[in-house]
Amino acid sequence: MDRATVSARPAPAGAGFFAASASPGRRHLLGLEGVSRAQILELLDAAALYRERLQSGGWQSDALRGVAACNAFFEDSTRTRISFELAEQRLGAMHVTFGVAGTSVSKGETLLDTLKTVNSMQVEIIIVRHRSAGVPHFLAQHLDASVVNAGDGAHEHPTQGLLDLMTLRDAWDHRFEDRRIAIIGDIAHSRVARSAIFGLNAVGANVVVCGPRTLVPEEVESLGCTHVPRIEDALADADAAMGLRIQRERMEDGLLPSMAEYTRNWGLTVERVRLMKEEAVVIHPGPMNRGVEIMPDVADGGRSVIFYQTANGLAVRCAVLAWCATGDARAAL
C-alpha cells in the first residue's frame, strides 16, 4: 500500500502551496474513499490477528518502540481517544494526547502552528480529530508526519469505518458480496456514514440510506448507495442495520420537528428490526440515544453487536498504527 492510494485522493496538481505533501514518503489514513478492497482486507486481516493477541490477555508488543504518536483531539471524544491511546501502548509507541482545553489552541495559536510545534518534537504519527472537515488533508499537506483521521467534521472517520467492516465481516461469515446494510438517521452530518459507505462499496456490499429528507444530503446516491425514505422499506430483508445518533441541535436548525416524530418514523424498534433477515445484526457507532434512534431492547437485544464493535476498534487501530509506522499492518504481531 502506498500513500497515494490509501489517502483518499492525492492533493490536486497545480494547487500552489497546497500541492505537495510535506513528506511524500509518509503513509496517511485520511479516509476510506478510494481505498481498495485488497487494502481494506489486509487491514481487517491484521486487525483480526491483533484481536486474538489482545483477547489472550497481557499482550504487549515493542514493534513501535521509539515511535512517537500524538493524539490531537480538538473535539470531545471518549472511546476513540482511549482506543487510540491503548493501541499505541499495546504496540509500544510513545504517545501524548491533548485536547483543546489547556493547550495553546485556546490562546489563539493557529492549528498549523500548534501541530508544526508538535511535529518538530520528532512526532512521527499524528492522530487528529477536528470539527472542520478536511483538517487531516490539510495537515498531511503541511506536516512531515503520518496523519490518521480520527474524525473530521461531517467528512470521514476511517477507523470507525474499518471497525464497522470488521464487525460486519464476522457477522456475515466473511462474505460481503450480496449483503445489504441499511444506515438509518442523520446521514448529512455523519462522518461515520460516509466512511461506512465508502468502505462497504469497496468490499462489495450494498448500502441503503434512510432518514428524513432534511438529514439526507444532496446527491447522496453518488457516494455509492440507494436512498430509501421509509425505514420499513430500508430494513426489509436487510443483512444489517446501522443506527446513527440524532442530535438535539437538528430541531433547533429546523431540520426535524421533534425527537418523538423521529422515533415514531425512523427509530430502530424490535418490530422494525424483525423485518430484516433472521441472522441480521444491528450496529451503532455510539454514543447511543436510547429511546430516540434505537430502543433499549434493540441495543441490548440478541441482534445487537454494538458492544462487540468497541473491542474491534482497538484491534483495527493497532493495525492502522502499525501500517502507518512501518508500512506493514502486521508488523507488531
Partner 1 sequence: MSAPLVIRDARHWKTGERVDVAIENGAILSVTPSAELTSGPNELDARGAIVAPGLVDLHVHLREPGQSAKETIETGTRAAAAGGFTAVACMPNTDPVLDSPAWIEWVLNRAREARHCRVHPIGAVTMGQKGETLAPALALRNAGAVALSDDGRPIESGALMRHALEYAKLPGLPIVCHEEDLTLRADGQMNEGFTATRLGLRGIPSAAESVMVRRDVELAALTGGRVHFAHLSCAESLEALRDAKRRGLAVTGETCPHYWVLTDEAVADYDSHAKMNPPLRSERDRDAVLAAITDGTLDCLVTDHAPHTFEEKRQPFDLAPFGIAGLETALALTITTLVQPGHLTLERALELWTDGPRRVFNLPKVELAPGSPADLVLIDPDSTWTVDPEGFFSKGRNTPFAGWTLTGRVVATLCGGIVRHRDASAHSAAARERTGAAR
Cis peptide before 287 (omega within 30 of 0): yes
222 forms part of the interface with partner 1 (CB under 8 A)? yes
9 forms part of the interface with partner 1 (CB under 8 A)? yes
Out of 26, 28, 90, 194, the residue judged to bind partner 1 by CB under 8 A: 194
The answer to whether residues 188 and 244 touch, using CB atoms and an 8 Å cutoff, is: no
CB neighbour list of residue 299: distance below 8 Å, 6 or more residues apart: 282, 284, 288, 290, 306
User: Torsion angle, CA of 130/133/137/141, rounded to 10 degrees?
Assistant: -80
205 forms part of the interface with partner 1 (CB under 8 A)? no
Cα 41 to Cα 129: distance, rounded to the nearest angstrom: 24
> What is the pattern of x (binds partner 1, CB under 8 A) and - over residues 98-127?
------------xxx---------------
Q: Where does this chain touch partner 1 (CB under 8 A) — which range of 2-10, 78-86, 229-237, 322-330?
A: 2-10
Query: Rg of the Cα trace of the chain?
Result: 20
For the sheet with 206-210, list strands across it.
226-227, 206-210, 180-184, 240-243, 281-283
One-letter amino acid for residue 270 of the chain: V
> What is the pattern of x (binds partner 1, CB under 8 A) and - over residues 263-302?
----------------------------------------
171 forms part of the interface with partner 1 (CB under 8 A)? no
Q: How many residues bind partner 1 (CB under 8 A)?
A: 36
For partner 1, the closer of residues 184 and 319 by Cβ is 184
Interacting residues with partner 1 (CB under 8 A): 8-18, 33, 110-112, 130, 132-135, 137-138, 142, 152-156, 191, 194, 217-220, 222-223
